[in-house]
């Protein structure tokens, strides 16, 4: 006769709390190790910032009237990390060489007196015009000369770190002596900043990012810290750019724009303004739309023709237009795009 006593339910075996904790810790450690391996394999170490040769050399001087210019006849170079040069643009040595001519401009020697039967185009601007990060022949003024042909002489008077104020002063004191037929003033979006702020941001960009002592051992930690620092620098730079357009420096510079038009009318040359955008988020939510409108308006109100290169670059991957992953100056592709657009404006201009 079967027993009526119920059997106790069988309980599953349980893992002691300490063992569960050990399993969790082991799982986390395995994940970290795998993560380290993946980051080391898939995420390369950041490229080294460029260096200047000769080390510590400055090609600049100031005239008796306080204008910052290049020393005529000097040369210097930038050396880039070729491990981050997918186009192999910089060659085996990673070099870009800069030569300054007899008048203190980038390019071959020229005479102050304009050759007969030649239209002369004078290009004023900062490092975007000078062609920082590209060979001499690839800077947009030199490209412009190639497009416009042998009857047009294009002078690259770009000076690294220049702003609208210093360009206007240079034109007033020296540029007009070259008797240009056309003057192109290239405005980059940091031109509303004082020179000292521009230099400070460039120094931050070129400084290597430290990932602390832990970063010496952990690729994941280095990656996260660098991402955070880069994002912080970008936010700060954009914030400073926005604020610069509310500064007295910009108000003073804007007030000088009508004087540029008056100088052009007095001397008989045509003046064209070319606005270079920040090479950032060109295929997305570009952060300086409002500032472009303000700059366009400032030149247009003075009767100066405006070429806004934001529309030329819009839709492109900004990083693909950089000279180097460590240098967001326009590369030879972006320089050529600028030259072609500016040439369309200059080509219809009569000397």
The pLDDT, as a whole number, for residue 206 is 56
The pLDDT, as a whole number, for residue 39 is 46
pLDDT of residue 314 exceeding 80: yes
pLDDT of residue 340 exceeding 50: yes
Given a contact cutoff of 8 angstroms between Cβ atoms, the answer to whether 224 and 273 are in contact is: no
Neighbours of 276 (CB within 10 A): 26
pLDDT of residue 351 exceeding 80: no
Cα(50)–Cα(80) distance, integer angstroms = 5
The pLDDT, as a whole number, for residue 273 is 98
Q: What is the mean pLDDT of residues 229-235?
A: 78
Given a contact cutoff of 8 angstroms between Cβ atoms, the answer to whether 288 and 243 are in contact is: no
Strand partners, 62: 68
Cα(91)–Cα(135) distance, integer angstroms = 11
pLDDT of residue 23 exceeding 90: no
Tokens of 320: 């693909």
The pLDDT, as a whole number, for residue 25 is 75
Tokens of 177: 């002596």
C-alpha distances in Å from residue 253, one per residue of 96, 118, 139, 270: 32, 32, 26, 20
126 Cβ contact partners less than 8 Å away, ≥ 6 residues apart: 158, 159, 160, 161, 162, 163, 186, 188, 190, 191
Mean per-residue pLDDT over the chain, rounded: 87
User: For 140, what's the count of Cα atoms within 13 Å in the CB-facing half-sphere?
Assistant: 30
pTM, entire model: 0.83
Tokens of 215: 């970063």
The pLDDT, as a whole number, for residue 24 is 74
The pLDDT, as a whole number, for residue 36 is 54
CA nearest 318: which of 262, 208, 234? Answer: 234
Cα(62)–Cα(250) distance, integer angstroms = 23
pLDDT, tens digit, for every residue of 26-67?
A: 766 666 566 556 645 655 666 788 999 999 899 999 999 889
pLDDT of residue 348 exceeding 60: no
pLDDT, tens digit, for every residue of 103-139?
A: 999 999 999 999 999 999 999 999 999 999 999 999 9
Q: What is the mean pLDDT of residues 22-29?
A: 70
- From edge to edge, which strands make up the β-sheet containing 152-158? 152-158, 119-125, 182-188, 270-276, 305-308
CA nearest 140: which of 269, 329, 304? Answer: 329
| Between residues 229 and 254, the one the model is more confident about | 254
Cα(12)–Cα(168) distance, integer angstroms = 85
142 Cβ contact partners less than 8 Å away, ≥ 6 residues apart: 107, 131, 136, 154, 156
CA nearest 190: which of 157, 220, 168, 165? Answer: 165
Q: Using the Cα atoms of residue 296, residue 301, residue 302 and residue 303 in order, give the sign of their dihedral.
A: positive
- Between strands 95-99 and 75-79, the pairing is antiparallel
The pLDDT, as a whole number, for residue 349 is 46
The pLDDT, as a whole number, for residue 118 is 95
Domains for the chain: give ranges and CATH numbers. 114-192+245-347 (3.40.50.1110)
- CA angle 156/327/66 to nearest 5° reads 45
CA nearest 277: which of 204, 191, 200? Answer: 191
pLDDT, tens digit, for every residue of 175-210?
A: 999 999 999 999 999 998 877 776 666 665 555 555
Helix axes 17-42, 219-244, angle to 10 degrees: 60
The pLDDT, as a whole number, for residue 20 is 73
Q: Computed over its alpha carbons, how large is the radius of gyration of the chain?
A: 28
Q: What is the mean pLDDT of residues 222-239?
A: 76
User: Omega of the bond prior to 54 within 30 degrees of 0, cis?
Assistant: yes
237 pLDDT band, cuts 50/70/90, is: confident
The pLDDT, as a whole number, for residue 301 is 97
Largest Cα span, the chain: 129
Q: What is the mean pLDDT of residues 164-172?
A: 93
């Amino acid at each position: 006769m079967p027993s009526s006593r119920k059997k106790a339910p069988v309980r599953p075996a349980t893992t002691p709390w300490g063992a569960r904790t050990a399993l969790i810790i082991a799982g986390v450690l395995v994940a970290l190790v795998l993560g380290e391996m993946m980051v080391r394999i898939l995420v390369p170490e950041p490229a080294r910032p460029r260096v200047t040769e000769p080390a510590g050399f400055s090609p600049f001087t100031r005239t008796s009237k306080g204008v910052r210019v290049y020393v005529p006849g000097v040369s210097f170079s930038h050396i880039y990390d070729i491990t981050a040069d997918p186009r192999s643009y910089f060659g085996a040595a990673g070099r870009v060489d800069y030569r300054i001519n007899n008048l203190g401009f980038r390019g071959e020697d020229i005479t102050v007196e304009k050759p007969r039967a030649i239209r002369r185009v004078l290009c004023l601007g900062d490092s975007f015009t000078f062609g920082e990060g590209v060979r001499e022949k690839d800077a947009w003024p030199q490209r412009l000369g190639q497009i416009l042909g042998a009857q047009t002489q294009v002078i690259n008077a770009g000076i690294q770190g220049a702003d609208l104020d210093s360009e206007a002063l240079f034109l007033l004191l020296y540029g007009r002596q070259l008797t240009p037929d056309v003057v192109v003033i290239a405005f980059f979006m940091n031109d509303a900043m004082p020179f000292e702020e521009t230099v400070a941001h460039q120094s931050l960009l070129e400084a290597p990012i430290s990932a602390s002592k832990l970063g010496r051992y952990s690729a994941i930690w280095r990656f996260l810290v660098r991402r955070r620092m880069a994002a912080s620098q970008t936010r700060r730079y954009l914030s400073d750019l926005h604020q610069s357009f509310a500064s007295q420096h910009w108000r003073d510079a804007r007030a000088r724009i009508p004087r540029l038009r008056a100088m052009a009318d007095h001397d008989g040359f045509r003046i064209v303004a070319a606005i270079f955008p920040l090479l950032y988020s060109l295929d997305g939510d570009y952060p300086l739309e409002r500032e472009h409108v303000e700059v366009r308006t400032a030149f247009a109100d003075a009767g100066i023709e405006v070429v806004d290169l934001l529309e030329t670059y819009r839709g492109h991957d900004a990083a693909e237009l950089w000279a180097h992953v460590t240098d967001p100056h326009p590369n030879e592709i972006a320089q050529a795009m600028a030259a072609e657009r500016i040439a369309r404006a200059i080509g219809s201009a009569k000397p």
